[in-house]
Structure 1
Amino acid sequence: MWAEFRERVLLEDDAILVLDKPVGVSVMGERHESDLVRMAADAGEQLFPVHRIDKVTSGVILFAKDLAAHGGLTRQFNKRTVEKAYLAVTAPGDLPPSGRVELPLSVGRKNRVRIAAPRESIVLTDGTWSVPASAVFDTVPTYPSTTTFTVRDQTPQRALLEAYPHTGRRHQIRVHLAWIGHPIVGDPLFEKSPAGRTFLHSWRLSFDHNGARVTVEAPMPDEFAQATSG
């Protein structure tokens, strides 16, 4: 099984491995047959995830091959010097050409990530969705979160976006887009019994490695362009 995933390697050297993860496979912590770290270990290869993407998300994922490399890479994520770009298909397709979502996050019942303010307090001003400081919950921990996006293509029913999470909160893009009224198509967090995949793809990752800036890109899945073609 791991040999099949190794055919999806985008970049590799002695210290790192970058993979184009297919949808439906976990990075780690899941069942044996759907956990990349465990499958690699079974094949005699030890990998250390530098970051995470959701099981329902496809695309670029970065691993370190040893703990020394892992520490330096994770510090870049902690310092927010890594640039991340995602592709998403949302509904409906009536978004402005670009936008900014400045909505704090919190964790609610059943460990669900949500906006840390009442939905009715969200306002759109000059292309930015935000909430007044007075509306932010003060009874739970809250986390400032920022996502920007540009629209590649859209129809009245669907929009294909490039989304940029400037903060790395869990489920950030998924929750931000859903709470401004444009959930990602097929997202099980907000759609009951979706018929197909979740249309979120880790498209591009830029980080520092061996004294140079490295950018790795996972090609856009064909179904993303097809989603806004008609």
Structure 2
Amino acid sequence: MKPLEILHHDQWLVAVNKPPGMLVHRSHLSRERHVILQRLRDQLGQRLYPVHRLDRATSGVLLFALDPKTANSLTTTFGEGRADKAYLAVVRGWPEPETGHIDRPVRDDARESHREARTDYRRLALVEMPFSNRRHDTSRYALMQLEPETGRRHQLRIHMERIAHPIIGDTTHGDGEHNRLFRQHLDCHRLLLHASALTLAHPVEQDKTLALQAPLRGEFSDVIQTLGWRDALTKAFAGLSVHQHHQAGNI
């Protein structure tokens, strides 16, 4: 099995570029053998401690601690919202305005209640494709940068669906017809949601900022190329680098 792509590795933590379609770790709901945690343990030959998670279908930056003390520190950082996250997504339609803020509660199944949830978004690129759908002869899509202020389960997927721009490939909160169009015309069978960047203070070296970026791979990268969004993506990653550098200077 192909080794996981390492984005950062020091004596206290390791970050990988998680591929889509894999669980982070086993749970009482799934006893799958091949999970990220076990694969990375085998790859590095040492114990790992999860400090945050990504959905099975989501790819991108995933961070692990290498000892309990570092794990506790990172868990606190994520829990207190002191880790800045950026995601890339392809959505149905052309969201207006170009930048916006979504503030809508998301249901917490564990608590059987709703919790506050906030997401900032920015439109990066637009395209109109000759894919006929039940309403129009063509179909419109947008490349988005999403930045969650809170970390609720499925928050980004739910928020984009609630503003009528669901993420392509989402089989729970998405649009089945447009998911089918991407399978049919672009041979894309995955959720087009990717954790592209993660920025936080290093848990041990306090004067250091971790500015992690995960490049797109596989089907998502192919979609970007086909839709003519490569330049927009390059600019987005460059913009994230500038933002991360600015943050580092203020820590």
Q: TM-score range by the shorter chain?
A: 0.7 to 0.9
CA 1:227–1:85: 2 relative to 1, 3 Å = farther
State the number of aligned residues.
198
1:18 to partner: Cα distance: 0.3
Distance of 1:105 and 1:178 partners within structure 2: 12
Amino acid at match of 2:96: L
The Cα offsets for residues 17-47 of structure 1, whole Å up to 9 and x where unpaired, read as: 0000111111111444331112334564211
Per-residue CA deviations over 1:177-222 (Å, capped at 9, x if unaligned) read 0111001001121344754110000000001111111100001342
Asked whether the equivalents of residues 108 and 115 of structure 2 are also in contact (C-alpha less than 8 Å), the reply is no
Larger relative helix fraction: 2
Counterpart in the other structure of 2:210 = 214
Equivalent position SS for 1:154: strand
Tell whether the 8 Å contact from 1:160 to 1:228 is kept in structure 2 after alignment. no
Deviates more, 1:47-56 or 1:92-101: 92-101
- Taking only the aligned residue pairs, the percentage that are identical comes to 31
1:70 counterpart SS class: helix
- Give 1:95 deviation, angstroms: 3.3
Residue identity in the other structure for 1:216: L
Root mean square deviation of aligned Cα: 2.2
Structure 2 counterpart SS, 1:162 = strand
CA distance, structure 1, for counterparts of residue 51 and residue 11 of structure 2: 15
3-state SS of the aligned residue for 1:175?
Answer: helix
Q: Identify the residue that residue 34 of structure 1 maps to in structure 2.
A: 34
| Other structure's SS at 1:148 match | strand
- TM-score normalized by structure 2? 0.72
Measure, in 1, the Cα distance between the counterparts of 2:84 and 2:154. 17
Pairwise CA distance, 1:107: 4.1
Identify the residue that residue 200 of structure 1 maps to in structure 2: 193
In the alignment, structure 1 segments of 5+ residues that lack a partner are 114-139
- In the TM superposition, structure 1's runs of 4+ consecutive aligned residues that sit over 4 Å from their partners are 191-194
Structure 2: give runs of 5+ residues left out of the alignment: 129-139, 184-188, 230-251
- The answer to whether the Cα contact below 8 Å between 1:89 and 1:224 also exists between their aligned partners in 2 is no
Partner of 1:14: 11
Give the 3 Å change call, closer, same or farther, for CA 32–94 of structure 1 in structure 2: closer
> Counterpart amino acid of 1:35?
V
